[in-house]
Structure 1
Amino acid sequence: MADSSDSVSVDMESIPLAGKEHIVKTGRGSVSVAVFGDQDKPALITYPDLALNYMSCFQGLFFSPEAFSLLLHNFCIYHISPPGHELGAGVAGPDEPSLSVDDLADQIAEILDYFGLGAVMCLGVTAGAYILTLFAILIEFGSDSCFPYAKLSWTEWLCNKVMSNLLYICGMCVVKELLLMRYFSKDVRGSVDVPESDIVRSCRRLLGERQSPNVLRFLEAMNGRPDITNGLRKLQCRSLIFVGENSPFHYEALHTSKLDRRFSALVEVQACNGHRRTTRCDADTIRIFPHGLRFLQAISTQCQPKKPFESD
C-alpha cells in the first residue's frame, strides 16, 4: 500500500473523458446513470444535490481535467441523476406516483444489481448524500461514503417549504436564486461591484433548464425524510465529510461527524458554502480515502482545512 505522500503520475491523454449514459429500469421508475471510465476498476457512485444532475453538481470535476483524470485513473465513476433531473428530462406527469427517499434509496440498490457491483464508494452532495447514506443503512451495505447529513433542521424545513410554494406558483425563475444561495458562498455569487464567477453562471444556466415539477418531487421527498441518526450510529462504513464554514448545513455536518469518530472524519473548508470546484487536493483525498482514515491526516495538512481530522 503506497504511503500518502507518494505522488501519482497520470497520463491524461490515455484516459477516456467521455461517458456513456445508461437508462436503468427499476421497480420505481427509470433512472439515468452516466458511466465514466473502466468498469473493471473500483466503483465510485455519485448522487447530486437538489435540482442538479451530475453535470451541474460535479462540474468541478470537468473544469479540472487533472482532478477528473486522477479519479478516473483509480475509479470507474457512476453518476446517478435523480428521476427527472437527467439531461433533456421531460416534465413528470400528474399520474406518476410520488417517490419517497426510501424509493430513491431502493433505486440505487437496483442500479448496483444492474451493473453487477459489489462494494462501492459513494460520493453525494447534501440531498444526494442523504440518499446514499440511507441506502447504506437500509441494506446494511459495506460502502464507504462522503458528505452524509442526517437531520432535517427547522431552518431547512422552513426554507424548503418556501421553495416548494415558489416552485408551484412561480417555477424555477425565482427558486434558482435561492438554490444558488444554497450552493455557493456570497463572494462566489458576486455583487454589484464583483461579477459572479463562471461556475455560478454555468449553474444558473443549467438550473434554468430544470423542470419545476421534477424538482418539486425531489424536494418534497427530502422534506418527508426520516431522521437517520440512530442508523448512522450503527453504520460502520467510513464517512468523510466536507463542509463549508458558511454552509447552511454546517450544523448538520458537525452533528453527523460526531456520531462515531472511529468511522468518520470532517474537513471544514474556509470561506465556502457547500458546492465548490473539485481540486487536486479533493481528488487525492477521495483516492486515498478507501485505504483508511489514518491516511487522511497527511492529506488534511496539505489541504489546510480549518479543523484537523479527528479519529481514534
Structure 2
Amino acid sequence: MVTGSTLYPLKFQPILKQKVWGGNKLQELFQKNAEGNVGESWEISGVEENISEIANGPLKGNTLNWVLENYKEKLVGEKVFKNFGNHFPLLFKFIDAREDLSVQVHPNDLLAKARHNSFGKTEMWYILDVEKNGKLILGFNQQMDSKKYLHFLSENRITEILNVEAVKKGDAFLLKPGTVHAIGAGVLLAEIQQTSDITYRIYDWDRPDTNGKLRDLHTDLALEAIDFNPPESKLNYSEVKNSPSPIGTTNFFAVNKLVLSENYLKDLEQVPSFTVYMCLEGSAIIETDDYSEEIKKGETFLIPAHIPKLKFITNSASFLEVYIP
C-alpha cells in the first residue's frame, strides 16, 4: 500500500530489441515476453524514443521521464539531479548473443558531445551464461596504430588483429570508451552503461541485417574514437555472501555483487543516488516502510534515492547492485 506522493521500488516494462544476432535465452531463462531473435532487453532506459514505462504500483503506465520530472532529486538524488537534470544517466540491459555482434567502438564524452550532443559510453559487462567456446573481443592482439589498423581493415583482415578472450559465468569487464569490442556467440550478459546509443560499427562479419541488407560501417567516425592502447578490461573481484562485493567503480557508476542466503537489510541513507538491482538468480521480497513486492530472476528494480532502507526477504537470490558514487 502506497500513500500520498511516496515513491516506491519501481519496475519497468522491458523494451525488447529484435537483432539479427539475437537468440531466445531472454525468453527461456528470464521469462521475457519475447518472440523471434531478441538480442536485448532494455530494463531501464532514458534514451530518446526508448523511454521506459513503469510496470508496477500506483505510478504504473507513467514513463521514467515523467517520474524524474515530477520527483526530481527524490528519485535520483541531489547530486545526480544537479549534474544531469531531467536526463536519466544510466542504461541497463540484458543481452543475448546467439551469433557474434559487430566489432564496434564507442566515443568518449568529449567526442560524443561535439558530434552528437550526447553522453559518451562507458559500460560494464557481467557474464550470466556462456555456451562452449564463448568469447569476447577486447582491443587488439598486438601493438597497433591508425596506419596499421587501416591497412588490415582495407584488406578485410581486421579479425587477424583482434584480441579474443575466453569468458566464463561470473566474469566482469569494464569497457572504457575507445575500446574496440564485440560480444561473441553464446554469451548472455548484463550491461550497465552511460545513457547513450552511439555505436560506430567497424566490422559486421559481412552479414545482412533483419531486412536482408548489409548494415552501414562507420570507418571514418570510428578512427578518431579508437584508443589503440591495450585495454585493461577484466575486473577481478571476490564474492562474499550476504554483503555487497565490489566489482568495479567508474566516475559514472559503481557495481556490486550481492549474493543472499538469508534475509538482508540494506541501509541506503549513505548512497548518494538511486540504487538499481538486477536479479541474476533466485527471488526475494523487497520491502520498504510502506511497500513490498517480489523481484525474480531476470527482473530489474530502481530504488528511489529518498528511500532510506530496503529489506530483502529470501533464502537464495543474487543481484547486481548499481548506484552512482
* TM more than 0.5: no
Q: Which has the larger radius of gyration?
A: 2
TM superposition score normalised by structure 2? 0.30
Scaled by the length of structure 1, what TM-score is found?
0.31
Q: Which structure dedicates a bigger proportion of its chain to strand?
A: 2
